[in-house]
Amino acid sequence: MIILHDFKINIEDYEAKGKENDFPLLENCPKCRSLAQGNVHRNGYYWRYGINEESEWYIPICRFRCLICKVTISILPSFLIPYFQHTVDTMVGRLSKILNGEEVKGSRQQLAQHLNRFYERIHWIHSFFIDLGYKLGFSKDIKKEAQKYVIMIQDFGESPSFVRRSWGHLSSYFMGKLILPYLSSKKNNSHPT
Ligand SMILES: [Zn+2]
């Protein structure tokens, strides 16, 4: 499972710190809730790429493993989106540009895939804002809706905060395809904020 963690630094600084980043400690297992001390162990790292406007970064993702239920837990920096290489800001910025007819560099095919995913997830984004108490309609013009929500996400504050706040809404996450059965949700307070 994935826990999103705000390291309060950008990807460039995170890469520079590497394994010396200030990784959180897990006191209990977010899946089986084992409270017995010492059951959740550090379990090395995996390495992945992250892409922003400036460059491509290669960074370690810290892992934990629960000795009781055997789940592996990854601590994903909140500037990233699970299973995407682009950072949150870069992803949202690129979506905003293409929706406004501006030039976006990089693979056209990949951009189309990201836009399609965003379209697929528009109703989920809509329902998150409704849950927060926003009074919003939803028209049949999907592009218009996408333009509206990309602005709302950008206006939500630093866009990682949108991803963090919406994390676990309807057991899913921003740009997520599958519902994750063991995704930690805000409601049970099982991940560090
Ligand atoms: Zn466990």
Read off the pLDDT of each residue in 77-105 and give the average, rounded to a whole number: 94
Q: Tokens for 37?
A: 């001390």
pTM confidence score: 0.85
Q: How does pLDDT run across 124-153, given as a tens digit for each residue?
A: 999 999 999 999 999 999 999 999 999 999
Look at residue 45 and give its three-state secondary structure: strand
Q: Residue 34 Cα, ligand 1 centroid: separation in angstroms?
A: 6
- Rounded Cα distance between 19 and 1, Å, is 20
Q: What backbone torsions phi and psi does residue 144 show, to the nearest 5 degrees?
A: -60, -40
Look at residue 118 and give its three-state secondary structure: helix
Q: Residue 2 Cα, ligand 1 centroid: separation in angstroms?
A: 13
Q: Residue 72 Cα, ligand 1 centroid: separation in angstroms?
A: 9
Q: What pLDDT sits at residue 106?
A: 86
Q: Residue 190 Cα, ligand 1 centroid: separation in angstroms?
A: 12
Task: Using CB atoms within 10 Å of the CB of residue 111, give its burial: 0 to 12 exposed, 13 to 18 middle, 19+ buried.
Answer: middle
